[in-house]
Every structure is written in C-alpha cells, then in structure tokens.
C-alpha cells in the first residue's frame, strides 16, 4: 500500500482530469494519500460526479475528514438496507472487501439500482473468500447469479427511528 501512496500522487491523478469529468462515479480509496484524495475530489466538483469513499481500515478511515464534504451523503440513521449473509466455505479473507466494492461499482455503472448492486457485491465477495488466491481467476456465472438472487430476494429496507 505504500507504493500507492508514493506513486499515485496528485500530479499523476491530475493528468486524468478530462476522463474523471465524464465519470459516472468517482470511487476513492483511503490508501491514497490525503493530498491525492483531496485533488481527486476537487477534480469532480464542476462536473457533479458523485464521490464514494472506501475506508480500507479503521486507521485509514480517518482520511475522510478533509474530503467528507465531497462524499455521497448517505446517512444510515434515516434509511438502511439489511442483506442476508451468504454461507461460505472460507479459505482466505484477503481482498473480499475489494471484490464487494468492485462488484457494486461495476453494477452501479451499468445502471443497476443500489440494492441489486450490493447483492452482486456480496456474491462477488463470497466467491473471493472461497479461493486461495487474492481474487478468483474466474467467476462461475450460475453460482454468482444464484447467490445474487438469494441475497436480493431476502434484502429488506429498514426504517430507523431517530433517538434524538
């Protein structure tokens, strides 16, 4: 992760300004340095591109503080989704979160709704924990589809009462 902080500098990111302006969504990762996070978010201000933030760890999650004003405003206090956990034969947990986020982002970028996208992300994460490599070399479409249907059909929107 040190390589990401060292080489994905704000100068390197700025060379993609034109591409970023046409993005459907900008997803930033807390492995980026604070200056790189800031410049990434600033590049999309004029374009009204929504920004998502992946905290990667508790320690690095604090990097959201200077950019929180750019990040999508999704408060779990008002509306939350509950998704079924899939049973998995866990071999390795490395990169499960990356597969979850990647599955969600690909789905969102193909115009699926948030609940469908989360279900796909959960299915991708399950597939990733069941292999010995960081990420599955291939996904079984029938298995992923079956898992997505299980998760999506059991998903529920939960209304939370404010405790204020």
Instruction: Convert the pLDDT of each residue in 5-47 to its tens digit.
Output: 778 888 888 898 888 888 888 888 888 889 999 999 998 887 8
Rounded to 5°, the CA angle 134-136-137 comes to 110
What residue segments make up the domains of the chain, in order of their start? 2-67, 79-159
Instruction: Convert the pLDDT of each residue in 105-158 to its tens digit.
Output: 889 888 888 889 889 999 999 999 999 987 888 888 888 999 999 999 888 765
Query: Given CA atoms 155, 156, 161, 162 in this order, what sign does their dihedral have?
Result: positive
Q: How much is the pTM?
A: 0.64
Which tokens sit at 109?
Answer: 């970028």
Distance set, CA 6 to CA 10, 15, 16, 34, 137 (Å):
10, 16, 17, 12, 28
Which stretch of DSSP H or E encloses residue 81?
A: strand 79-82
């Amino acid at each position: 992760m040190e390589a990401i902080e060292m080489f994905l500098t704000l100068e390197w990111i700025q060379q993609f300004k034109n591409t970023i302006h046409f993005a459907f969504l900008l997803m930033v990762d807390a492995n980026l340095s604070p200056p790189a996070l800031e410049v990434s978010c600033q590049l999309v201000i004029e374009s009204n591109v929504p920004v998502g933030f992946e905290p990667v760890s508790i320690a690095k999650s604090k990097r959201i503080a200077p950019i929180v004003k750019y990040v999508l405003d999704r408060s779990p206090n008002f509306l939350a989704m509950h998704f079924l956990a899939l049973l998995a034969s866990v071999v390795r947990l490395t990169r499960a979160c990356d597969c979850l986020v990647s599955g969600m982002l690909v789905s969102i970028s193909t115009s699926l709704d948030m609940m469908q996208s989360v279900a796909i992300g959960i299915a991708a994460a399950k597939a990733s924990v069941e292999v010995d490599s960081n990420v599955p070399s291939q996904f079984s479409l029938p298995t992923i589809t079956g898992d997505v249907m299980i998760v999506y059909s059991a998903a529920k929107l939960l209304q939370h009462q404010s405790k204020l």
